[in-house]
Chain A
Amino acid sequence: MNASAWHMLLEGAWTTLWISAVSIAIGVMAGLVIALIRLARIPIVDQLLVLYISVARATPLVTLALFIFLSAPDLGLDLNRSVAGILALTLNTTAFNAEIWRSAFRNFSREQSEAAMATGMTPWVTFRRIMLPQMVITSLPGLVNEMSFLIKGSPAIAVIGIVDLTRVTNRISAVTYEPLPPILVAGVLYMAIIGCLVWLQRLAERRANRLAT
């Protein structure tokens, strides 16, 4: 592999990284918001959210990405590839994250929030200062798991023409006729990215030990 091949690989890695990062950031937040809304059990809204979650969890990423990219012009939307890719990844991961947050809410101990309310905290302060920090810690294994699923599933967005870390290896081997080296390097780069996440998770686990009483 020459310098330009390396350059292309790193560019592909960067594309995978930033598109995934943006999708993860939005997806984790949106999942929390959906879980919060579902706590209120608003009729119709709740059913719509359940429908979204089931559909999004059941749809393959490739299908979802294609659908969004191809239907956008019909809806009068001018989506560029990156936005369509992020949208697909986000819609997918949000559904899974919403379920992770929801179970964190369900399992949160009532005694903990009662102790907070008893000191005069409003429900909002209780949520922000007492519930959320503990829910983040207990949900992190599930969330990080979902993050690595998303990164590993991200090559699906190549279907709408995004040149990510996997797609770029194709392009390189089309010129060099040596497919193995670039795909090997790509594999190592994926492992490095996921490795960072796992390391983060281990840091979090050390904190989680405190919650075990």
Chain B
Amino acid sequence: MSEANTSEMAAVSIRHLSKSFDDVEVLRDVELEVKTGEVVTIIGSSGSGKSTLLRCINWLEKPDRGSIHIAGQRIGVHEDGRPMPVRELAKVRAKTGMVFQGFNLWPHLNVLHNVTEAPIHVQGASKREAEERAMALLEKVGMVDKRDSYPNTLSGGQKQRVAIARALAMQPEVMLFDEPTSALDPELVGEVLAVIKDLSAEGYTMVMVTHEMAFARAVSDQVVFLEKGLIIERADPETFFTTPKTDRVRKFLENHDTPSPA
């Protein structure tokens, strides 16, 4: 009973999660709890399984074993092991918002309609209501003046800010960021990080995979280090970046820019 209770309190609760691609184990018995309002950063070298872990949370990747609850609700399979019908899965997925490395805006829709599409066609919001909500979000990410533009006319940083607004439009319980600045030109990284930082200040629950160490240190409540599908270290950012427990993390941090509190 107590387990059900903690699951309900957590925005995301991951238990005994394992996944293999062919013979390679990419996630091994991962346990992670993200409380409401918390920012969790997942760090690790490429191939460590961090993107797979993030993509399991909204079931874009299907884990082999283990369970994931979003705001107390199981995703992907029912508690008795039956696979979840697509409509039901979509409903649970809507509790999460995802921001991709490659933006993945819908090129046939303008900026405003990229943001209103899901609220109208998933939630059944009226056009007016969806547009009001979208305009407030575009204001938040500084993209109001581009509302009628099509994605192909935007810079990478602008695309990613629209993508953030699109994910927020579904009023998700948790935002998932999959290396949101990795595909950006260096001079555009700042504008996207600034938006994400604002969101953390506003109390949004976020799980983020990133290589921006200084940023991770500045916004995270919890930093998780993934190595070959195992969480080998987790701590608050101060402890993680100043006194890592394992040699592996120490080495990893040495090879990255030593972050100073931003």
Contact = CB atoms under 8 A, between A and B. Distances in A.
Q: Which among A119, A125, A133, A209 has the greatest number of chain B C-beta atoms within 10 A? A: A119
B152 A213 contact: yes
B71 to A, nearest CB: 14
Given A120-B93, A125-B122, A129-B121, A211 B87 contact: no
Interface string A197-213: 00000000001011111
A111 B150 contact: no
Which interface class (under 10, 10 to 19, 20 to 34, 35 or more) fits B?
Answer: 20 to 34
A114 B169 CA distance: 17
Contacts of A125: 121-122
A117 B102 CA distance: 16
B163 to A, nearest CB: 8
Contact of B117 (A123, A129, A207, A213): A129
Given A210-B107, A213-B107, A118 B121 contact: no
Interface residues of A, number: 24
A120 B60 CA distance: 11
B121 A210 contact: no
A188 B110 CA distance: 40
A97 to B, nearest CB: 21
Nearest to A212: B152
Contacts of B166: 119
Interface string B168-180: 0110000000000
Contacts, number: 79
A139 to B, nearest CB: 13
Contact of A111 (B104, B151, B170): B104
B122 A119 contact: yes
B170 A210 contact: no
Nearest to B169: A119
Interface string B133-153: 000000000000000001110
Interface in A105-164: 111-112, 114-123, 125, 129-130, 133-134, 137
Contacts of A117: 60, 90, 93
B118 A120 contact: yes
A18 B122 CA distance: 39
Given A119-B97, A119-B122, A119-B167, A211 B104 contact: no
A115 B170 contact: no
Give 4 nearest A-B pairs by CB, closest first.
A120-B94, A119-B118, A115-B104, A118-B98
Given A115-B100, A118-B97, A134-B107, 14 more contacts: A116-B106, A116-B118, A118-B58, A118-B100, A119-B93, A119-B167, A121-B90, A121-B121, A122-B86, A122-B90, A123-B86, A129-B117, A211-B108, A212-B152
